[in-house]
Structure formats: structure tokens, C-alpha cells
Amino acid sequence: MALSLIKNNAKLRYRQRKSVVASWISVGMLQPMIFSIGAVLALFLWQGDKGFSLRDEGFLWYGVQRVMEGEVPIRDFMAYDPGRYYWSAILMHIWGDNGIIALRAVLAVFQTAGLYIALRLLAGKANKLNTLFLGRGSQ
């Protein structure tokens, strides 16, 4: 009796986990992730090793180098927002590279996360609008 109860409980937990994964994919979390990775990867491959960029990444690179040497943004050198220096320095340290291409790869990781979050928020708002105006969710 107790053994069959344990087996049924284990089967129920397995089905619940399986349904969570299925709903994660069916809700549409996979499409924004694939799009985000694809878009940022395409941009990185296009301009990742080129000598041009639309933003001033030299200032960020200099700040990351200083953080990797143990200095503190704003206190030890002029900086805008200290958080980006720290997460860039952490990822570059983990990868074992402190070059400009590694910095661009770190920025690509952050861009992917930001684009994914923005697309998920927009998808959630679109589902709410569909429900509100059409009386149904997205198909």
C-alpha cells in the first residue's frame, strides 16, 4: 500500500514537471529566446571583430580593465554606472580574456538577455490585450 502510494506520488511529480516544461515551451518562451540569440549573434559576427562600433566602448573597456586591477568605479576613476563594469569584469575573468573582443562578447550576452526580457514583456502585454479586446488568449 505505502509502496504504491510512493510510486503514484512519483508519477504525479514527473507529470507535473513534464507539464511545466511543456507549458514553458508552448507559452512562447522559446521563440523570443531563439530570436534574441540569433539577432545578437548575427550582429556580433558582423561587427564583433571589426574596428567600428556605434557606442564608445573604449571608455567601458578602460573601466573594466581598472576593475580587473582592483579599483572601484566612481571612487578611483570616472565612471557612469558601476554595475556594468563589475559584470563585464566578472565574465571576462571567467573567460580568461581581457581584450576588446571579449568585452564585445560580454556586451552581446547582456544584449541577448535584455532583448529576451523585452520580447517576453511585449508578448505578455500582447496576450493581455488579446484577452481584453478579443476575449481570448493567443493561439
pLDDT at position 2: 59
Per-residue model confidence (pLDDT) at position 43: 85
CA pair distance 105, 52, nearest whole angstrom:
15
Give pLDDT, residue 52. 56
Euclidean distance between CA atoms 64 and 42, whole angstroms: 25
- In sequence order, what are the beta bridge partners of 77? 73
Give the pLDDT of the chain (139 residues) as one tens digit per residue. Answer: 555 656 666 665 666 655 555 555 555 678 888 888 898 888 888 876 676 555 677 888 899 999 999 999 998 988 888 889 999 999 999 999 988 889 989 999 999 999 988 888 887 776 665 555 555 544 4
Residues 6+ apart with CB under 8 A from 131: 137
